[in-house]
Amino acid sequence: MTFAPTDLARDPAAPADTGAPSRAHAALAVLALATGGFAIGTTEFVTMGLLPEIATGVGVSIPEAGHVISAYAVGVVVGAPVLAFLGARLPRRALLVALMAAFAAGNVLSAVAGSYGLLVVSRFLAGLPHGAYFGVASLVAASLAAPGRAGRAVASVMLGLSVANVVGVPAATVLGQHLGWRAAYWLVAVLGLVTTALVLRFVPRTPGDRAATGRRELAALKRPQVQLTLLAGAIGFGGMFAVYSYIAPTVTEVGGLGRSAVPIFLFAFGTGMVAGTWLAGVVADWSLQRAMLIGSAGMGLVLLAFWALAPFGWAALPAVFGVTVLGSVLVIGLQLRLMEAAGDAQTIGAAMNHASLNTANALGAWLGGLVIAGGLGFRAPALVGVGLSVAGLAVLLVAAAQQRRATTGA
């Protein structure tokens, strides 16, 4: 059985073909959208690399500072359905601009936060636009794509997040280590403003979907395939975050490497995301089901390898790369599957993938912090990750079986 994204190349809210942007202009529009992904990816993941500095700066332990990561993730989970509900009928370019402006403001507040409590609140606020931005950006990119290339178009938007982990996160981590962790959030705020300008310049103006209603959008959440796909992401992708959230102390305390090695491990995470996102676009256009199953099963195996290799320092670097390659294949597959399964409620369907993934972010960071606080050490979150990946794979297999019965009538 194959999930084919046949209905994703044309957004129902997009204008008719007459007056459609040229191929070059469409590419610039996707690049503008990907720049927003770059900004979001930088702020989401740089906190992991600067966790020791943040903990020291606000006077808390490293496991307690991990709640700052969870706060951002909870913001995404809350913001995705709420903002998709409120913005379903709005013109999509205007909605993207508003979301990115709010994102920039949240990062400014993070940079000036004077206490642990205010930092937690500011990270929650910064996370609110995340899911809705990626959801709307994915729909806009799919509407600009040639037939049969929606997977590649959506992957191109997500590539901004992946490139952030190659360039933005390591650079912001080094910046934060030398100029203070607040400098990283100031950098992200500037990137948010740059994205706002690029979206205004290059993304075509499209009318809102006048037929959209909050009730119609929310009705998509009642569909079994939507529910199972969201559950698979919320559980299965948590495995990567269980490791990523504590990568800095794992590298230094378990692997015995210096602090300067942390940006290199973050770079490996990022290059894995870039490679995986490119691969995901191709695999998803071939078969969404295979993309999700390969990503989920493979990620669990590589997390197990990371657990085994973590005490050997640099030997764990290939496992870090592999985790994000396979995780990215899973993410793109889940994104396209939700856009398809949600039917005419694509705004909330696309946005909720990021709510699901950031539930995974919060779950992974929380469970990882629990096992560390319980005295099991910084290596233990990798085994938590293996368990989460196995559970997510089980949900995907249930979804596939249910879809097969619905298709065949068996």
What lies within 8 Å, CB to CB, of 356 at 6+ separation is 229, 230, 231, 233, 234, 237, 334
pTM, two decimal places: 0.72
CA distance 272 to 164: 11
Res 40: pLDDT: 92
Task: Decide if pLDDT at 148 tops 50.
Answer: yes
How far is C-alpha 369 from the chain's CA centre? 20
Measured from the Cβ of residue 218, the count of other Cβ atoms closer than 10 Å reads 15
Predicted confidence at residue 314, as pLDDT, reads 93
> Is 217 or 401 the better-scoring residue by pLDDT?
401
Enter the DSSP assignment of 315.
G
> In the prediction, which pLDDT does 150 show?
63
**Residue 209: predicted pLDDT:** 64
Condensed to tens digits (0 to 9), the pLDDT of residues 267-310 reads: 888 788 888 887 777 677 677 777 788 888 888 999 999 999 98
CB atoms within 10 A of CB 4: 16
More confident residue, 147 or 250: 250
For residue 207, pLDDT over 90 is answered with no
SS3 label, residue 56 = helix
Options 3.30.1360.120, 1.20.1250.20, 3.40.50.300, 3.40.50.720; CATH of 23-408: 1.20.1250.20
pLDDT confidence of residue 12? 42
Distance CA 164, CA 41 (A): 5
Query: What is the percentage of the chain residues whose pLDDT exceeds 90?
Result: 21
Q: Looking at the predicted structure, is the pLDDT value of residue 254 above 80?
A: yes
What pLDDT is attached to residue 77?
Answer: 82
| Least confident stretch, 26-40, 84-98, 141-155, 216-230 | 141-155
Distance between CA atoms of residues 283 and 376, nearest Å: 38
Report the pLDDT value the prediction gives residue 331, as an integer from 0 to 100.
Answer: 83
Q: Between residues 318 and 267, which one has the greater pLDDT? A: 318
Closest CA to 202 of 39, 9, 347, 22: 22
pLDDT of residue 187: 94
Q: For all residues of the chain together, what is the average pLDDT?
A: 81
Q: What does the pLDDT read at residue 122? A: 94
* pLDDT above 70: percentage of residues in the chain: 86
Radius of gyration of the chain (CA): 20
Residue 7's pLDDT band, with cuts at 50, 70 and 90, is very low
Domain ranges (residues) in the chain: 23-408
Dihedral through CA 225, CA 292, CA 289, CA 402, nearest 10? -30
Whole-angstrom CA distances from 369 to 70, 276, 327 are 11, 27, 21
Give the span between the Cα atoms of 291 and 4, in whole angstroms.
Answer: 11
Q: What pLDDT sits at residue 103?
A: 95
pLDDT, tens digit, for every residue of 12-23?
Answer: 444 434 355 667
Would you say residue 364 has pLDDT above 70?
yes
Mean pLDDT (whole number) for 48-65 = 83
C-alpha separations of 135 from 33, 41, 332 in Å: 11, 14, 12
What mean pLDDT comes out for the span 251-258?
A: 86
- Name which residue leads in pLDDT, 142 or 174: 174
Q: Is the pLDDT of residue 120 over 50?
A: yes
Look at the block and give the residue holding tokens 């990021």.
354
- Give me the mean pLDDT over the 144-168 stretch: 74
Token readout for 272 is 């894995």
Within 13 Å of residue 206, how many CA atoms lie on the same side as its CB?
Answer: 32
Q: How confident is the model at residue 191 (pLDDT cuts 50, 70, 90)?
A: very high
Residue 116 confidence (pLDDT) above 60: yes
For residue 27, what pLDDT is reported?
77
Confidence label for 125 from pLDDT (cuts 50, 70 and 90): very high
CA distances from 393 to 18, 153, 321 (A): 43, 26, 20
Q: When comparing pLDDT for 289 and 252, which is higher?
A: 252
CA atoms within 13 Å, Cβ hemisphere of 311:
3
Residues 34 and 38: their CA atoms lie apart, in Å, by 6
Q: What is the mean pLDDT of residues 335-364?
A: 76
Predicted confidence at residue 140, as pLDDT, reads 82
Highest mean pLDDT among 21-25, 66-70, 152-156, 381-385: 381-385
Residue 381 and residue 405 in contact, taking contact as beta carbons nearer than 8 Å: no
- What span, in angstroms and rounded, lies between the C-alpha atoms of 9 and 61? 48
Please state the rounded mean pLDDT for residues 99-109.
95
